[in-house]
Structure 1
Amino acid sequence: MPRNASMYAIARAARAAGLRYGRSRRFKGKPLLVSDATTRVYFGRGGCSLSSRRKLRIAKSKSRTRRFLERHGCNTITGKRFLPSQASAAVRYARRLGFPVILKPDDGSKGRGVEKLHDAEGVARYLSRLSDDRQGVVVETFFAAQEYRITAVNGQLLGVANRVPANVTGDGASTIHELIAAKNAIRSRRRACPPIVVDPVVTAVLGRQGLSLASIVDKDVRITLRDSTNVSLGGESVDMTEAIHPGYLKALEGAARAFSDIVMVGFDVFIEDIRRPPDDTNWAVLEVNGSPMISLHHFPWEGEERDIAGAALRELFPDPHFCSR
């Protein structure tokens, strides 16, 4: 079985369905082959081999995704793309938005290069570190809300996961460093839970809260360690599929249908209160992922597993015997 948690979920679903699965080197970055007598599908980086390449290119670019989502009736985060050579314009734009702002690569993934910046000097430093002037950077407003991954299969929205940044909860006796070590021991025993890495980002986030790794936190007080919610950086996934107000799923239907030729697609959405109905100001789609980390739904830190992999295979291998399993 694959070591990657999302590929593991697909292989497990294939085995349960009686489909063949195994490693393949035919497509770079797509190491998992699932097949029956007539159909062969490859999974891995970049999603599924049968997904639309055009839509995957749209999803890869955050600026193109924003325009596409707006055409399909979705609220989006206010932002604009700049090149490193346009640093002065990017700083002026950030000032107009108001700090803090978020900067990230236009074609980035897995939280790489995403920074929450609190002043113009930080924006300028971020852009000065980039060596390739062709590398687009998105400057966008900071939206203070909870982040959710809503995943669709063939246009049907099937799973909702609250993405929570890496954190620890105080016990009144242990230092934050000790709490991280204890939590990492728990994470090491669970699938799809990489360790929380202590690095300069963590110390900076703690510093903004007046804390350090040596601080002792009161009992039951939760301390956020990163701004990013990515599981690969120690974040957590909490299933909220039953809790979400149906109005959000209704609002995303058009975009989900438009991206239905990407077999599995994830919408990263900010929502102020998931149980209250949507309006023009309390939610926004951040971006679209054409190769979603479905392990968020299969192996949540809290809550019920959602069988995204099984749903995808039922679409790709619509065999009556398979569907009855």
Structure 2
Amino acid sequence: MKLFIHKVLNWEYWPFGLVYFPIFFLWIYYSIQAKTIFFFNSANPKIKNGGFMNESKIEIYDLIPQQYYPKTLFVKANTSVTEVLKQLEIAQQNFPLILKPDMGLRGNGVKKVANLEELKDYHAKADFDFLIQDVIPFENEVGIFYVKLPNEAKGKITGIVSKEYLIVEGDGSSTIEELIKKTPRFELQLKSLQKEYKDKLLKVLLKGEKINLVPYGNHARGAKFIDSSHLISPKLTDVIETISKDISEFYFGRFDIMFNTFEELENGQNFSIVELNGSASEPTHIYDPKHSIFFAWKELARHITYMYKIGKYNNDRGFKFLSYKEGMKEYKAHNECLNKIVSI
């Protein structure tokens, strides 16, 4: 009951359909203008479906200069574990490693593995393409939303979100599980944490001892999102613009970036792109608990309008919208892959 009340009183936990219900009508309006509901693909013409559905992370990484993201190995479904280990040795990738599906679903299927046994366990369950990445050595993470009209010389940052990981701090007497239950945001993740950590949650942490239970900033996995849009600056905009110019025909999406210090990030130093998300990107600064649902609706409408305008301009340039038949084919393929990922 406590968790139910928490979810009701905090809109960030409301069902997707409820949060996006008013936005549905705006989408229909733009669909009528575009003569297709699948107008999003032209927002980023070189990313499959604009990055909205059935996209490939490795294909997106391949568009980004390699110095901006961690060493990444692509593993095709049904590749033998022997071959995977051989490729890891060639790539000189060492544990710990981050494993994640080539097509993402809000953090599902993402796992940090510490040794060979954990890698083999993940491999045995994965009947989908996945990536193996080096762990990024920086502690801080932000999501930076970038938009650019194709006829403009320079784009802009429309929002920044900072992320607080699911970290518990010991008091010398409580188990990790008891510490989790003290924070509703964390307790909502308890079932998945029990599945992953099992008896390890019964350990008592020393006073002041901290443990990061989910080492990636995903809202659906318990991270707290904080609106840090006040950090938008000309220097940071220049850094993001420099990266974006090296990504062919990229105009709309969110960079998830890990970094050492914000000053270094503004100077283009000591940072790494975790992921680049395309047309399906949310302006995730809306999920800051201080914001109302009305603020969220305003920001969602603003960004969907950007996406339509960019897509319309690119469509006029020759990057055609998906037809209904093409879009439904991609949508079905997307859902088939998601069902595999959710079941891992």
Scaled by the length of structure 1, the TM-score of the pair is 0.68
Change (3 A) 1:278 1:261: closer
- The answer for the alignment partner of 1:218 in structure 2 is 207
Relative to its length, the structure with more helix (as a share) is 2
Deviations 1:19-70 (A, max 9, x none): xx54xxxxxxxxx735389747999xx9957645652447421211112111
Alignment of 1:15-30 (within 5 A): 22=25
Alpha-carbon distance between aligned partners in 2 of 1:244 and 1:66, rounded to the nearest angstrom: 25
Alignment of 1:1-325 (within 5 A): 3-4=14-15, 8=19, 11=22, 22=25, 33-35=27-29, 39=33, 48=40, 51-52=43-44, 54-57=46-49, 59=51, 60-70=55-65, 75-83=68-76, 84-95=78-89, 96-131=92-127, 135-145=128-138, 146-154=140-148, 155-170=155-170, 174-184=174-184, 187=185, 195-200=188-193, 204=197, 207=200, 212-213=201-202, 215=204, 218=207, 222-243=210-231, 247-256=235-244, 264-277=252-265, 282-290=270-278, 291-294=280-283, 296-301=284-289, 308-313=299-304, 315=306
Of stretches 136-145 and 113-122 in structure 1, the one that deviates more from structure 2 is 113-122
Structure 2: which amino acid aligns with 1:292? S
Alignment gaps of 5+ in structure 1: 15-20, 23-31, 188-192, 319-325
Scaled by the length of structure 2, the TM-score of the pair is 0.64
Say whether the 8 Å CA contact 2:73–2:132 is kept in structure 1: yes
Deviations 1:251-293 (A, max 9, x none): 321554658776x511111212122246786111122222123
Deviations 1:57-112 (A, max 9, x none): 474212111121118xx612111212232422322343412211111111223112
Of stretches 233-242 and 251-260 in structure 1, the one that deviates more from structure 2 is 251-260
Alignment gaps of 5+ in structure 2: 1-10, 149-154, 310-344
Offset at 1:248? 4.4
Deviations 1:171-207 (A, max 9, x none): 56654333322311xx4xxxxx992233356763994
Structure 1: which amino acid aligns with 2:120? A
% of aligned pairs identical? 17
Change (3 A) 1:198 1:38: closer
Give aligned pairs, total: 280
Alpha-carbon distance between aligned partners in 1 of 2:39 and 2:17, rounded to the nearest angstrom: 11
Of stretches 306-315 and 267-276 in structure 1, the one that deviates more from structure 2 is 306-315
Alpha-carbon distance between aligned partners in 1 of 2:206 and 2:282, rounded to the nearest angstrom: 32
CA RMSD of aligned residues (A): 4.2
Relative to its length, the structure with more strand (as a share) is 1
